[in-house]
Chain A
Amino acid sequence: MAATSAKRDYALFDADLSGAVLNLRLLRRLLRWLRPYRATFAVSGLLVVAASTLQVLLPVIISIVVIDGIIQGGADQQAPDFGMVDVVEWLSATFSAHPLAAACVLYAALQIAWAVLGHAHRMTLTSSVIKGLRDLRLNLFRHLETRPAAFYDRVAVGRVMTRVTNDIEALYDLLSGIGTLIGEFVPFFVALIIMLSIDAELTGVLLLAMPIMGAATFAFRRATRQLFRQSRQAVSALNQNLQENLAGLQVVQLSGREGRNLDEYQRINRRNLGYEMRTVRWETLYGAFNDSVAHVAIGLILYYGAGPVLQEQLSLGSVVLFARFVEMLLHPIVVLGEQTNVLFRAMASGERIFQALDWDEAVHEPAVPVTLPKRLKGAVEFRRLTFAYGQDEPVLRDVSLCIAPGEKLAIVGPTGAGKSTLIRLLGRFYDFADSSIFLDGIDLNHIHSHDLRQRIGVVLQDFHIFSGSVADNIALGDPAVSRRQVEAAAQAVNAKGFIEALPEGFDTQLAERGQNLSQGQRQLLAFARVLAADPEILVLDEATASIDTETEQLIQDALDRLTAGRTSILIAHRLQTVQKADRVLVMDQGRVAELGTHAELLAKGGLYQRLHALQFQDAQALP
């Protein structure tokens, strides 16, 4: 049921992105998905503070406990040791061990505790966020799955798909990114507090390095942002060229274009190389810069620390401690720079996800749906039905028609006559005025679309084959359909023959879109699918493509069985179908042009007769 009237609008489903890295409203909305798991999330927060404190205390043991306390024999200027010295002394006294050994034991204990708490923190964080993201993704999918046909007519499927895949993926990336940032910044603040308590001036000197690194990071990001974008474009141009060239290789070879195409590819390849080389240049300049600043900072600590130590305002161990903290203090900036892109992408993705979730376009459902009887009779009535897609010109005008239960109606008419629209409305894929279509006398708008569609079996021209086995495709995931029913349905529509000839019969896996089946075989499979579902009404859009004559005969034969005793509406492209129909509806420009049996219409000498004559021109030209 390809949309003939609606135009694809590639801009339709694209969030009006604010472009802000931190959008608080959006962040709040994202966090709401974590609410069911907030207990785990909170525990994770406590764990990271505890783990970071231990991580920061490790260098304190080296510098304050060992260097100041043991080696320097208790400096005159005692730096804060957070009780570490007391613990070591207690350990040493209790086990009558050397203070150095006691310090080593304490170091080992803290290291193990840090490792365990850190692991617990990371896993609790991951667990809570993953559950939230899983919920979000499922909700998004459920929401998209139930958008109406009118929506899918206009939007490019790729756009919808990336919401579910790439955009949610960006949030998973954000999870990893935020985990890294927390692991960097919490120790940063704990270290900062300790340093400030030891020597504010020296801490200030060290903090001077931060704006330098920040500026370098900023400059690097800005210089490379454009470059990265160009580079991405070049890469996709490169891949696209190769992909297209391989897809059309036969044409390439028949046209003798190999040389020219290789040159063309080389041009794109060279452009890509140019961007890559410039990127490498920037990355090498920036990559080594941060280490260098950190090393210079160590030199500065030595330079500014020497005086106070000699004046006994600062312990030697404190200078060592500062030197050890340099990495902890400066690394978060580098990581922050690395993670801005992740953050930015995640924010943009979040906006697109919520835009999709907020998209509430839907087919109007009745407030109190009618409960359908177990089996419908299958009488269909169109009563003065007029319909237009959106604001466009009406495609159906004043269509009135009664189809009796079990009747076989063929519809013919030129493209744009409204044939497809008529059957789409019958499945309530679009909203139309009340009291325009009736099923067994019930206004269609009073039936829930989901209930209705279980009663109408649709075979489209380009019907969809899902990857999975042949049997799966016939049962279509409905557990109520047994294997026996599947095989019986296949048998009834002449599909069993070719299915059993497949390598694994009904269990043969079908490639996406059924590429390993012929057009005719796919049609038979679709018939089996409908027959297995056993709907009261059959709607068929006959395939136009030419099918070899033998399969064609199998299809016609199967169609007879499919339509037997079932109200059937067939958009016909084959004469045989028309001849077998009880009545033929000829549509033209959205109106009922002619209606009657094949013979009646032929005799009438109108539109139908012209169609017929054209079809038979070959035969009549024969001697």
Chain B
Amino acid sequence: MSVFKSLLRLGPFVRPYRVRLAAGVAAFGFARVFEGLVPFFLAQGIDRISSGSGDVGGPVLGIVLAVLARYVVVTQARYAVRSAGQLVAFDLRQRLYDGLQRQGVKFFASHSIGDMMTRAVTDIGLIQRVIAMGTILVIILVYATLVGFGFMLYFSPALTLLLLPPLPFICYHAQRSARQMGAASLQVQERLSDLAALTQENLAGIRTIQAMAQEDNEIQRFDRTNLSYANAFYRQAQVNSRMMAWMPSLAAVCSITILGYGGHLVLAGEMTAGALVAFFMYVNMVVQPFRVAGFIVNLVQRAGVACERLFEVFDLPPEIPDQPQKAPASKVRRPIQGVIDVRGLSYRYAPGRALALDDVQLRIGRGEMVAIMGRVGSGKTTLLQLLARLLEPPSGTLFIDGADVREYPLAQLRAQVALVPQDPFLFGQPLKANLTYDDPERPLERIWAAAAAADLKDTIKGFPEGLDTIVGERGVTLSGGQKQRAALARGLIREAPVLALDDCFSSVDTETEERILTGLRRDRAGRTILLVSHRVSTARHADRIIVLEAGRVAESGTHHELIQHGRLYAEMERRQGNGEHPIPVAVALR
């Protein structure tokens, strides 16, 4: 069965804790025997009373000792097994985190973060439970049957055999109920997440709803979801209640058998009254685990799927292969010059899709400042991402200082090519930690220098907590422009030989952008700068402007040359100059 096949893959993760697990499993056997001794001694006691002897001290002591022994053994056994589950979960989490960190643009284009969170939380949780609970339940099932039937056979083989026929029915019913329960609670979960999604969406858009006077429609929409949740909940309660009615009724078949045939045996003098009482307890001991059998099957199946989903991630090779040991010695631990050479670079995201870059030829000298312009989807971002190897370029197409970027150790390359991505993502940490994200040990002067260069110094000084201000959802909410400048500072602080800015002034007003770019130009000191932008006002700062069109270099030259050229760039300039460009109103008056 494929479920077991995928669960078996957990082998290497379980192996380190096999001693613990085996000891727990063995100890459970002893615990069951001790538990089985309680009805045994009770039967003895009852028989002694019914035979007219008042000496029940022996059986009572037996019961107490059996209980004590069971308590000690069972607590240790449960701890051993459950802790193994936790330890495996710990290892799985580390493995998943590590695996995900090696994925990149391509992986996350087809897998959402929410999906990965589900794997980390729900799937690992299921595996932890199948190891902890599942193992325990299987153990109980096997041992309880062995021990329970052992004692019953001792008292009366004939009665024991008569008790067997109802068991398959109980088992079947348990499994069916578990399946129905699983389906019903899935429904409840789904209706609940519908309800949560609707509420979340509604409240997030409450201003729109109220502005458009749509409250009544929304309330009706809500009540439909509200009702289907209530119905799903009712259905789940119904399945559960039926199970609570059926299970004892099926078990009662056993009780009636004991009552009728067992009573007959006692009357015939072939069994004692004490044994009759003990039989009721043993049947309970056997049947109880059967009732949960269905849930075990359900749990194992779900864990099998969870396992597959985890290994789907574990099996993936790193998106960008990194072979630092193969790198030529000359490329390691030596600052690069920053000469970029693009030779016939073509790139497509997946086979069958259009070329994102089409035979790009480009040479950028050390210390040159180049602006890259072009429409959405013309390949600007792709080019920068290939340079920093967030995407893998075909070999022999992209060179830095004459060496293929694929030959550089990844860490070395990314340390020297500082790419500031389009999305100014900040971590929910203090600003200081965000600015020194690549190296928390950076001195304070350097942080302030980078902040100043990104025109962020005054903003930071404006916060009561200064550099210790926590940003993000649980902290201060920064404006789009502030975020972009913080992300820029995070890139500038690295003083890397190659600086690649991916459209990171879009929310910054033109005046501030002007100031930052003038500073960058002045202090660049041999640094190669690549600048992606939509704005002509940004591009004008560059030594050279490249316009991409459908993945090809369409134009290349200085601002004046391209204006003279009178094509794409000139068109952009004309439009933006004609006021289709946002007015920097807010800042203009400050």
Contact = CB atoms under 8 A, between A and B. Distances in A.
A578 B548 CA distance: 32
Interface of B: 38, 41-42, 45-46, 48-50, 52, 54, 56-57, 59-60, 63-64, 66-68, 70-71, 74-75, 78-79, 82-83, 86-87, 90, 93-94, 97-98, 100-105, 108, 113, 116-117, 120-121, 192, 195-197, 199-215, 217-219, 221-223, 226-227, 230, 233-234, 237-238, 241-242, 244-246, 248-249, 252, 255-256, 259-260, 263-264, 266-267, 273, 276-277, 280, 375-376, 388, 390, 410-411, 414-415, 418-419, 421, 423, 425-428, 437-438, 480, 487, 490, 506-507, 510-511, 534-537, 540, 560, 563, 572, 575-586, 588-590
Nearest to B413: A256
A176 B433 CA distance: 47
Contact of A310 (B49, B199, B480, B506): B49
A117 to B, nearest CB: 9
A292 B35 CA distance: 9
A573 interface: yes
A299 B586 CA distance: 84
Contacts of B49: 302, 305-306, 309-310, 316, 319
Nearest to A299: B63
A17 B242 CA distance: 38
B218 A145 contact: yes
A303 B586 contact: no
Interface string A432-464: 000000000000000000110110111010011
A70 B263 CA distance: 8
Given A103-B263, A108-B256, A253-B390, 16 more contacts: A100-B259, A146-B215, A164-B195, A242-B116, A246-B113, A248-B426, A249-B101, A253-B414, A255-B437, A276-B86, A284-B75, A310-B54, A320-B277, A458-B208, A549-B580, A576-B579
B579 A316 contact: no
Given A100-B264, A281-B79, A454-B213, A107 B421 contact: no
Interface size class, chain A: 35 or more
Contact of A122 (B57, B101, B241): B241
Interface string A103-126: 110011001101110110011001
A529 B211 CA distance: 12
Scoring A103, A127, A292 by chain B CB atoms within 10 A of each residue's CB, the highest score goes to A292
A623 to B, nearest CB: 8
Given A460-B208, A614-B511, A302 B56 contact: yes
A305 B415 CA distance: 82
9 contacts: A161-B199, A164-B199, A254-B438, A256-B415, A269-B94, A298-B63, A302-B42, A476-B214, A545-B506
A200 interface: no
Contacts of A145: 202, 206, 209, 215, 218-219, 222
Contact of A119 (B244, B267, B580): B244
Contacts of A299: 41-42, 59-60, 63-64, 67
Interface stretch (A34-42, A77-85, A130-138, A184-192): A130-138
A579 interface: yes
Interface stretch (A22-30, A349-357, A366-374, A411-419): A411-419
Chief secondary structure at chain A's binding surface: helix
Chief secondary structure at chain B's binding surface: helix
Contacts of B200: 157, 161
A165 B196 contact: yes
Contacts of A619: 577
Contacts of B50: 72, 316
Nearest to B590: A414
A61 B375 CA distance: 87
Given A100-B264, A134-B227, A288 B70 contact: yes
Contact of A244 (B64, B267, B427): B427
Nearest to B421: A250
A458 B78 contact: no
Contacts of B98: 262
A574 B260 contact: no
Interface in A27-67: 58, 61-62, 66-67
Contacts of B79: 280-281, 284
Contacts of B64: 296, 299
A100 B257 CA distance: 11
A545 to B, nearest CB: 7
Contacts of B108: 246, 249
A429 B211 CA distance: 8
A205 interface: no
Contacts of B438: 254-257
Contacts of A450: 213, 215
A169 B242 contact: no
B492 to A, nearest CB: 13
Given A111-B249, A152-B206, A464-B207, A126 B214 contact: no
A126 B188 CA distance: 15
